[in-house]
Chain A
Amino acid sequence: MYGLVNQALEDFVRRGFGDAAWKQIRDNAGLNLEMFVSMDSYPDEVTYQLVGAATEVLNLDAARILEAFGEHWVLYTAQEGYGQMLSMFGSNLEEFLLNLDNLHSHVGLTFPALRPPSFQVERIAGGHGLLLHYRSERAGLAPMVIGLLKGLGRRFAQEIDIRQTAHRGLDDHDVFRINYVAAGASAAP
């Protein structure tokens, strides 16, 4: 994972639970570095170990942490200088989700060590919503995608309801059904 992900995780813990909690998580994860460099690549284990340590220190299960972290990821990247890029890739939720895969393709070409996930949108006939197909080389991050979608919903002021309809392991890959809650508020082009 790029350092940016670990930085965001650190920011999420420090803001929500305090500096002491972060220090404890870092120590429990056996991490002996003071800070992450955003554009350096770190082994995935670092992130998984931090989340594992966080479940104990914060007394929350991994899915809840990942979901809250996913929501924070949208805020964090926007404030860390990627806000303009986020705006460029869509002016409403649906447009952004349609471009999400290309965003990751572009970033993947620019940062070769990145193994970015894939997000594909399937439209639902007549429905106020869509299906999002998520594929990743990494296991266990579906809750983070749910948080990410919630964060994006907030960013684009689009209230949504998210349900996971297929699960990697049981099915070929994870699928999320996203329904727009406020009728007529869907800003579909």
Chain B
Amino acid sequence: MGAAALNLSPQEFAAAFPFHIVLDDGLRVLQAGVVLRRLCPGLTEGAALGDHFSVQRPALPRLDFDALSKHHKSLFVLNHRDGPLRLRGEVVAQGRQLFFLGSPWVTGMSEVQQIGLSLNDFAVHDPAVTCCSCCRRRTRRSPTRRNCRGDSRSRRTT
């Protein structure tokens, strides 16, 4: 089977990627996911990506279209300049437009709340929600884990 011929409608795309960003070749926002816009109200049409996010990974010589479009196989980590939000995803080039497809990197429910999100804000396919329930299970087991850690710590400091 070759390339997929069937596509999502704009509404379906928006639901599947509630944290997406579409940029023009000057890295100005053309469109952003509805949940992301709620978290970053400044991310309106025409806003400069660099004013709102810094790119933690990959290392870029400068933040421009050419640098980003070279990294179509890279895992991107974007840090919001005004808060704890960290996005994890990839950049897809379509002509002179770039699509950032990704979602917040969270490791626990408290982090989800701290960012100002609820689990409903994530797309159903997003593994972040599953990851959070794993973390919750781990927290509930934490007394034993802490004991284990305590043991190893005391052993190595003797």
Question: Which A residues are within 8 Å of any B CB, using their own CB?
Answer: 33-37, 98, 101-102, 104-106, 108-109, 118, 120, 135, 172
Is A34's CB under 8 angstroms from B73's CB? no
Contact partner of B77 (CB less than 8 A), chosen from A33, A109, A172, is A109
CA distance A106 to B127 in the complex (A): 14
Q: How many residues of B contact A (CB 8 A)?
A: 16
Instruction: Taking A101-B57, A101-B74 as given, write out 18 further A-B residue pairs in contact, using a Cβ cutoff of 8 Å, ordered by the A residue number.
Output: A33-B157, A34-B155, A35-B155, A37-B153, A102-B75, A104-B57, A105-B57, A105-B74, A105-B77, A108-B57, A109-B77, A109-B105, A118-B57, A118-B59, A120-B58, A120-B59, A135-B59, A172-B61
Measured CB to CB, the nearest residue on chain B to A110 is: B107
15 interchain pairs, CB-CB under 8 A: A33-B156, A34-B155, A34-B156, A34-B158, A35-B155, A37-B156, A98-B73, A101-B57, A101-B58, A101-B59, A108-B57, A108-B77, A118-B58, A135-B59, A172-B61
Contact with A along B115-158 (1 / 0, CB 8 A): 00000000000000000000000000000000000001101111
Q: Which residues of B contact A135 (CB under 8 A)?
A: 59
Nearest B residue to A135 via CB reads: B59
Q: Which residue of A lies closest to B158 (CB)?
A: A34
User: What is the CB-to-nearest-CB distance from A14 to chain B, in angstroms, rounded to a whole number?
Assistant: 16
CB atoms of A102 and B74 under 8 A apart:
yes
Expressed in whole angstroms, the Cα–Cα distance for A37 and B151 within the complex equals: 11
CB distance from A82 to the nearest CB of B (A): 18
Q: Is B88 an interface residue (CB 8 A)?
A: yes
Q: Within the assembled complex, what's the spacing in Å between the Cα atoms of A35 and B152?
A: 9
Chain A residues, CB < 8 A from B155:
34-35
Tell me the bound Cα distance from A62 to B91 in angstroms.
40
Chain A neighbourhood of B88, CB < 8 A: 109
Measured between beta carbons, the chain B residues less than 8 angstroms from A33 are: 156-157
Instruction: List the 4 closest pairs (A to B, CB-CB), nearest first.
Output: A118-B59, A105-B75, A105-B57, A35-B156
Closest to A116 in B: B57
Interface residues of B in 74-123 (CB under 8 A from A): 74-75, 77, 88, 105
Docked CA distance A106–B88 (Å): 10
In the complex the two chains form, is B152's CB within 8 Å of A37's CB? yes
Q: Which residues of B contact A108 (CB under 8 A)?
A: 57, 77
On chain A, the residues within 8 Å of B74 by CB distance are 101-102, 105
CA–CA, A11 to B75, complex, Å? 32
B23-65, CB < 8 A from A:
57-59, 61
Query: How far is it, in angstroms, between the C-alpha of A19 and the C-alpha of B125 when the chains are bound?
Result: 51
| Residues of B with C-beta under 8 A to A172 | 61
A46 to B58, CA, bound (A): 27
A172 to B158, CA, bound (A): 43
- Measured CB to CB, the closest approach of chain B to A68, in angstroms, equals 25
Tell me the minimal C-beta distance from A175 to chain B in angstroms: 13
**Distance in Å: Cβ of A92 to nearest Cβ of chain B:** 16
